[in-house]
Amino acid sequence: MEIEEIGGLVPSSSASVHRWKYDVFVSFRGGDIRKTFAAHLFHALKQAGIYYFGDNEKKETGILIEGKLLVAIRHSRVSLVVFTTSYADSRWCLNELVEILECNRRFRDHQGHVVLPIFYYVEPRDVRKQSGRFGDGFERCLATHTDDLLVQKWRDSLKEAGNLSGWHLNNDANVNVFLAYMLMGSSVFHRANCRTSRKDYSQNKLPDTFGVGLWKYDVFVSFRGGDIRKNFAAHLFHALKQAGIYYFGDNEKKETGILIEGKLLVAIHHSRVSLVVFTANYADSRWCLNELVEILECNRRFRDHQGHVVLPIFYDVEPRNVRKQSGQFGDGFERCLAIHTDDLLVQKWRDSLKEAGNLSGWHLNNDANG
């Protein structure tokens, strides 16, 4: 079976020694999360245009597919390891992990290989120590494998992976799926002519090489602070920072008056991705609505030749309510209209909400994915 390139055609040269064939390889135990977390994750990667070694390729059996898996790992820019309770009772998963960490040691310094662990209802210490329910799965695997050298490699790799910085997901599954998706989004930004080193990003420093044709920020986030500043937004900004994604942050929005509104519009012009978080009260803010108008204008201006992206998140809001300014979302919009009577501006707001409500995006609510 041919390996499928998800999200479009991959240039033939991309699998060469100095190029990556895939953005992402995902190592996971299919029986645990194939129809829940993994399904949402693969949908996220595909929607973001990220090339990944997909779930379907793992359905073959035998030595042939195991060899394909190891080759795919070597040609993937990011390895995402989803630790679940039964991950370590799979010889394949354990061998993938050994290969992932070996590739990380070999390529991370000069070619930028990244390993991102997700501890999905599993404690990192249980991965490190092979204890708890995770350890029970590992013992089941050991019962049928007695190669001491191989077993030691597995133990060493689990210990190493359990000590890596990653994501501990144990509640609010929809939000966490999105955060995992944002981590993977870093490969999109790195692929789109990134300007500086990961070290500079992690220190939240402004790149010195900003100029014509380059973005100053990876991400601008438009949101209504009172709705989500201390919960979803806080987690989101933490995710972006941990992933080394350079963003126009929450702190800059705490100024007031014309000066900061001008700064916001300038930041939108210089951001590679605009993330719009629609909440119940988003449209009762003139600032949010003006940001949205500017974001969509920039998208029309830059998307074709410079690759601007708009990603809407409908956070406990129905997209149709954004489109039609109805329901609780519409109530917020009416409160804004009560104090703004400029017909031309109001029509721009309506047109922008209608356009944004029709965009493909994420519908996040407080219900777990299962």
For the annotated catalytic residues, the residue numbers are 96
- The structure tokens listed for 366 are 């407080």
DSSP E strands, 37-148: 52-53, 76-83, 114-120
Question: DSSP assignment of 309-353, as one string?
Answer: EEEEEEESS-HHHHHHT-HHHHHHHHHHHTT---HHHHHHHHHHH
- The structure tokens listed for 34 are 């194939």
CB contact set of 366 (below 8 Å; sequence gap of 6+): 172, 174, 316
Instruction: Report yes or no: 268 and 240 within 8 Å, Cβ to Cβ.
Output: no
CB contact set of 265 (below 8 Å; sequence gap of 6+): 290, 291, 294
CA distance 57 to 28: 13
